[in-house]
């Protein structure tokens, strides 16, 4: 079998790279050179990154930018964002400034409960299973004592364990559905360790439960894992002001602006095709902060989108009202985040980002992330319902086009000046570069 290899993970980094070069690349020298150019010259730092994952060959850079001037519950923040999309930070910064002049953002954490489940198959009488669960529940808790001790000392731990009968959905399928408070930790390792211990205790005790017959004693534990759907780990962020206060250079007629803005939100509430793009724009802000602060953006994405579909149809995560001359725009989302543990203690830029955010608690970070999502959505809707999105997008994209054409610093300066007053399109930029170089 060409292009397959066994024992790859045991090769040294250099050997791995050489295998890749031999197998896939024609110009091996330039491919090797590229991979090596992205190594960090600080060997200790490079080793740290090498050891985050298996089979590291080099680093993959994303820009880390900042959006200043966020006023959240009377505290000023400069928000770190790791993202490649050119217009995201500009839009966030613009929205921050806009709301800074109108009272800033208000945010509150509504709940902080995390969830984990042990999925199992039991063939037998449900009444007996319930009796067994009640009998074993104190032991499920006591046998995790060594894991929960330090979390409990800080005020967290296991909140509850329930037996759930899912046999209507799948024959003989049941769950231990557990809830947790993990404080400033995202809590994945804590929750998964507790769940695996629940499963062991449950299985062992079932084998000895005197009221079970032989088949009932033979419970099959399928898997133990946290859920990334956390509808009880919720944060809400909001902006509001009098409609008249929205008047600005971009919004000459606030009344007309709010009407269209509200229509845009309502369309995303009722129309899934639009809701997905609307929420994608929100995630532009959310993912960028989640990534910069060393959190798991895949977990956040999965949980947020499930929440957007919680009423049976995928819908907008933001909402808008205009009542008695007051414009209100808000977001409510589930966010399981950590500011201790995981990458937060390891990645130097994550530590830097958290320090910039004034060492937030997990609850503080939930508010900051929700605000970043709301600001991003405000910026997108404001553009979409007024000038259209391309004007701003293409302005920000200009630098990417110039880089594609390997423009010199002098050419860049001249073309940026030129496009301050001219519409940016790919062909217009190509034409101008051509003229400059002619
Ligand atoms: C682009 O990354 C995000 C937008 O499409 C979001 C939106 O349409 O609301 C501009």
- Residues paired with residue 367 on neighbouring β-strands, in sequence order: none
- Residues near ligand 1 with C-beta < 6 Å? 85, 277-278, 280-281, 284, 380, 384, 389
**How large a percentage of the chain has pLDDT more than 90?**
92
Q: What is the mean pLDDT of residues 325-330?
A: 98
Residue range 368-378: mean pLDDT, rounded = 98
Q: State in Å: Cα 417 to ligand 1 middle.
A: 26
Mean pLDDT of 220-248: 98
| 255 vs 352: CA distance, rounded Å | 42
SS3 430: helix
| Separation CA 232–CA 185 (nearest Å) | 16
Instruction: Let me know: does 284 contact 85? Beta carbons within 8 Å.
Output: yes
Model confidence at 395: pLDDT above 90: no
d(CA 28, CA 20): 9
| Residue nearest atom 1 in ligand 1 by C-alpha distance | 281
Give residue 280 CA to ligand 1 midpoint distance, Å. 6
Residue nearest (by alpha carbon) to ligand 1 atom 7 = 278
Provide mean pLDDT across the span 364-390: 95
Residues 120-124 have a mean pLDDT of: 98
Å from CA of 275 to ligand 1 middle: 10
Residue 122 pLDDT:
98
Question: What angle is formed at CA 226 by the lines to CA 164 and CA 124, rounded to 5 degrees?
Answer: 30
Residue-wise pLDDT for 340-368, tens only, equals: 998 888 999 999 999 999 999 999 999 99
Note the pLDDT tens digit of each residue in 36-64: 999 999 999 999 999 999 999 999 999 99
Task: Determine contact, residues 58/39, Cβ cutoff 8 Å.
Answer: yes
Which helix (H) or strand (E) segment holds residue 68: the answer is strand 64-72
Residue nearest to atom 3 of ligand 1 (CA): 281
Show which residues are catalytic: 85, 280, 296, 393
Rg, C-alpha atoms of the chain: 27
């Amino acid at each position: 079998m060409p292009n397959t290899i066994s024992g790859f993970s045991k090769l040294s980094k250099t050997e791995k790279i050489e295998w890749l070069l031999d197998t896939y690349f024609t110009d091996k020298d330039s491919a090797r050179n590229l991979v090596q150019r992205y190594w960090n010259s600080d060997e200790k730092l490079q080793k740290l990154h090498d050891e985050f994952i298996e089979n590291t060959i080099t680093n993959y850079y994303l820009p880390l930018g900042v959006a200043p001037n966020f006023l959240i519950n009377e505290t000023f923040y400069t928000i770190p964002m790791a993202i490649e999309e050119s217009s995201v930070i500009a839009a966030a910064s613009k929205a921050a400034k806009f709301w800074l002049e109108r009272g800033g953002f208000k945010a509150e954490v509504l709940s902080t409960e995390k969830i984990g489940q042990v999925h199992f198959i039991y063939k037998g009488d449900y009444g007996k299973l319930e009796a067994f669960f009640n009998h074993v529940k104190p032991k499920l808790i006591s046998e995790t004592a060594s894991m929960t001790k330090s979390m409990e000392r800080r005020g967290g731990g296991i909140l509850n364990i329930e037996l759930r009968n899912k046999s209507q959905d799948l024959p003989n399928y049941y769950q231990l559905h557990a809830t947790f408070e993990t404080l400033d930790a995202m809590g994945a390792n804590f929750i998964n360790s507790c769940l695996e211990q629940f499963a062991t205790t449950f299985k062992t005790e079932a084998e000895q439960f005197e009221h079970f017959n032989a088949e009932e004693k033979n419970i099959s534990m399928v898997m133990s894992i946290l859920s990334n759907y956390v509808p009880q780990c919720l944060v809400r962020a909001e902006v509001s002001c009098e409609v008249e206060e929205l008047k600005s250079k971009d919004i000459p007629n606030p009344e007309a602006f709010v009407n269209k803005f509200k229509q845009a939100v309502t369309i995303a509430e009722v129309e899934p095709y639009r809701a997905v793009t609307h929420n994608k724009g929100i995630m532009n802000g959310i993912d960028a902060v989640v990534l910069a602060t060393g959190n798991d953006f895949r977990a956040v994405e999965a949980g947020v989108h499930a929440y957007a579909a919680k009423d049976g149809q995928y819908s907008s995560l933001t909402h808008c009202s205009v009542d008695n001359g007051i414009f209100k725009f808000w977001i409510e989302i589930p966010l399981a985040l950590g500011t201790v543990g995981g990458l937060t203690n390891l990645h130097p830029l994550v530590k830097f980002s958290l320090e910039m955010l004034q060492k937030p608690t997990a609850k503080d970070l939930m508010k900051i992330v929700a605000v970043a999502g709301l600001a991003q959505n405000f910026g997108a809707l404001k553009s979409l319902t007024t000038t259209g999105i391309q004007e701003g997008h293409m302005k920000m994209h200009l630098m990417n086009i110039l880089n594609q054409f390997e423009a010199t610093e002098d050419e860049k300066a001249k073309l940026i000046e030129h496009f301050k007053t001219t519409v940016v399109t790919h062909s217009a930029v190509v034409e101008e570069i051509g003229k400059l170089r002619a």
